């Protein structure tokens, strides 16, 4: 195999020009290490948290705001009022829909040696689990009937089950939240969608909640809620009351086709018109129905400095590659005499081109391995930063493969010009000039 011959020639060339080769490898490794660190962070932060379904899952917005400060065409409220969210849930115009908000409460472990602790809670409705493909280890979600019945049920995370029941099965047992007993109907597998797309008002990249229970139950029990709330009127009600003029609830629907999405949008418009006629909405219908990725884009979830860092890192990689092009050119053209001899002995231009491209590819691969080590160090440094996405900064198999592809492609690109120049060397001149 000619390829293995070229590999052997590359090895000999590296041994002969150690310093030059080391310089090239370090240049590529630095470029790869830096760009892979930032690219990994960007990839983790901008990934699809609901692969395969994100295009069919939509976030609902209605403009329920007051007359004051109204400007036509402006963005409607980012969340729904309780009245609207519960109304849309009851209407069931989508195949699946769920309302939700975050909260927290004290959990009494009922176990000797484990102190009570605070946990993040999600108040939602039955479709939350199938709509977001939430994986269950044991049991399952509660039902829509249990939502309507304000049932004292809960689904808990695997981590909480292990903490409360010492690794035992929690289904059929109960958890005490803020002094209220809730029957556990399901235990989740480890689940941490990144970003925390379904509620961006309680942190973009936080952990998932430890307890999920029906929204209706949470209101009965007056459990504490968390996240943003936007009120536009003084109605003398508590902000979480059904008729309070406050938006604090997220509402998601699953719609299977563009036609269904269009129909649902029409429904939201007619709902708004009806609310306007009834005197509840002061503004003309103004609705939004954004898919998961559109919603994340709109909310600018990926920090802008992360994007900037990625651009800068790739610019740095380009500089490193330009350096490598220069070094490869110098290295290859220093071997003009050898190239002349090889051409005289039967090497075609293509053979010379391939030989030198293989050598450049080897530099890239070695640089890539070294760069991978640097990326690993870089991500370690990111994990030490005080940002909510820090724990996520790890290389996964996709990024590992990407690193090698980028290293190889970059070094082959860097090797193209030098290898082409090497292949164009006129053998006759070299043979006589020795």
Residues that bind other proteins (CB under 8 A): 2, 5, 12-13, 16, 337-338, 340-351, 426-428, 431-432, 434
Q: Which residue, 196 or 342, is less far from other proteins as judged by CB?
A: 342
Q: Which residue, 20 or 390, is less far from other proteins as judged by CB?
A: 20
Q: Which residue, 318 or 428, is less far from other proteins as judged by CB?
A: 428
C-alpha span between 170 and 184 (Å, rounded)? 7
C-alpha span between 106 and 176 (Å, rounded)? 8
Q: Which residue, 2 or 394, is less far from other proteins as judged by CB?
A: 2
Q: Which residue, 141 or 427, is less far from other proteins as judged by CB?
A: 427
**Residues ≥6 apart with Cβ < 8 Å to 16:** none
Nearest distance from C-beta of residue 421 to other proteins, angstroms? 16
C-alpha span between 143 and 210 (Å, rounded)? 19
Nearest distance from C-beta of residue 345 to other proteins, angstroms? 4
Nearest distance from C-beta of residue 367 to other proteins, angstroms? 22
Strand 80-81 relative to strand 230-231, pairing: unpaired
Nearest distance from C-beta of residue 352 to other proteins, angstroms? 10
Q: What is the largest CA-CA distance in the chain?
A: 99
Q: Which two tokens stand for residue 58?
A: 């939509």
Q: How far apart are the first and last CA of the chain?
A: 31
Q: Which residue, 82 or 331, is less far from other proteins as judged by CB?
A: 331
Strand 57-61 relative to strand 288-291, pairing: antiparallel
Nearest distance from C-beta of residue 9 to other proteins, angstroms? 8
Q: Which residue, 1 or 259, is less far from other proteins as judged by CB?
A: 1
Q: How far is residue 303 from each of residues 195, 297, 300, 385, measured CA to CA in Å?
A: 12, 11, 7, 14
The b/e string for 12-44 (b: 16+ C-beta within 10 A; e otherwise) is: ebbeebeebbeebbbbbbbbbbbbbbbbbbbeb
Nearest distance from C-beta of residue 43 to other proteins, angstroms? 42
Q: What is the DSSP string of 160-222?
A: HHHHHHTTS--TTSEEEETTEEEEEEEEEPS---SS-TT-GGG-SSPPPPSEEEEHHHHHHTT
Q: Which residue, 183 or 351, is less far from other proteins as judged by CB?
A: 351
Nearest distance from C-beta of residue 328 to other proteins, angstroms? 17
Nearest distance from C-beta of residue 349 to other proteins, angstroms? 5
Q: Which residue, 1 or 112, is less far from other proteins as judged by CB?
A: 1
C-alpha span between 402 and 119 (Å, rounded)? 37
Q: Is the dihedral of CA 216, 221, 223, 228 positive or negative?
A: positive
Q: Which residue, 67 or 432, is less far from other proteins as judged by CB?
A: 432
Nearest distance from C-beta of residue 348 to other proteins, angstroms? 4
Measured in whole angstroms, the distance separating CA 297 from the mean position of its chain's CA atoms is 11
Nearest distance from C-beta of residue 26 to other proteins, angstroms? 23
C-alpha span between 278 and 318 (Å, rounded)? 61
Enumerate the β-bridge partners of residue 100. Answer: 250
């Amino acid at each position: 195999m000619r390829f293995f011959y070229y590999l052997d020639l590359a090895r000999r060339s590296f041994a002969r020009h150690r310093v030059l080769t080391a310089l090239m490898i370090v240049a590529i490794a630095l470029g790869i290490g830096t760009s892979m660190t930032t690219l990994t962070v960007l990839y983790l932060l901008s990934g699809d948290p609901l692969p395969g379904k994100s295009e069919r899952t939509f976030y609902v917005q209605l403009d329920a705001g007051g007359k004051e400060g109204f400007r036509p065409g402006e963005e409607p409220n980012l969340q729904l009022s309780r009245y609207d969210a519960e109304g849309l849930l009851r209407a069931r115009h989508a195949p699946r829909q769920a309302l939700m908000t975050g909260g927290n409460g004290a959990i009494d472990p009922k176990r000797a040696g484990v102190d009570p602790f605070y946990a993040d809670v999600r108040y939602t409705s039955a479709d939350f689990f199938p709509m977001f493909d939430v994986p269950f280890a044991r049991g399952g979600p509660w039902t829509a009937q249990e939502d309507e019945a304000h049932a004292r049920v809960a689904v808990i995370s695997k981590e909480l089950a292990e903490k409360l029941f010492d690794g035992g099965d929690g289904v059929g047992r109960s958890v005490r939240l803020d002094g209220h007993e809730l029957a556990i109907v399901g235990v989740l597998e480890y689940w941490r969608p990144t970003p925390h797309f379904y509620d961006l008002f309680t942190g973009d990249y936080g952990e998932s909640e430890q307890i999920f229970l029906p929204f209706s139950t949470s209101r009965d029990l007056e459990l504490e809620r968390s996240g943003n709330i936007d009120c536009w009127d003084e109605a003398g009600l508590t902000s979480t009351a059904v008729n309070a003029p406050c938006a604090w609830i997220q509402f998601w629907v699953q719609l299977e086709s563009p036609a269904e999405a269009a129909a649902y949008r029409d429904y939201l418009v007619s709902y708004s018109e009806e609310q306007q006629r009834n005197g509840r909405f002061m503004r003309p219908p103004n609705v939004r129905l954004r898919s998961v990725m559109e919603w994340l884009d709109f909310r600018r979830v990926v920090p802008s400095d992360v994007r900037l860092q990625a651009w800068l890192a790739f610019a740095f990689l380009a500089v490193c590659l330009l350096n490598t092009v220069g070094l490869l050119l110098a290295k290859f053209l220093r071997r003009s005499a050898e190239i002349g001899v090889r051409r005289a002995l039967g090497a075609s231009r293509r053979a010379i081109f391939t030989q030198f491209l293989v050598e450049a590819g080897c530099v890239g691969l070695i640089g890539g391995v070294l760069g991978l080590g640097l990326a690993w160090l870089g991500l370690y440094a990111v994990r030490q930063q005080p940002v909510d996405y820090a724990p996520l900064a790890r290389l996964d198999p996709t990024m590992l493969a990407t690193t090698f592809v980028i290293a190889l492609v970059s070094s082959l690109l860097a090797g193209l010009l030098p290898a082409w120049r090497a292949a164009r060397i006129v053998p006759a001149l070299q043979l006589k000039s020795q």
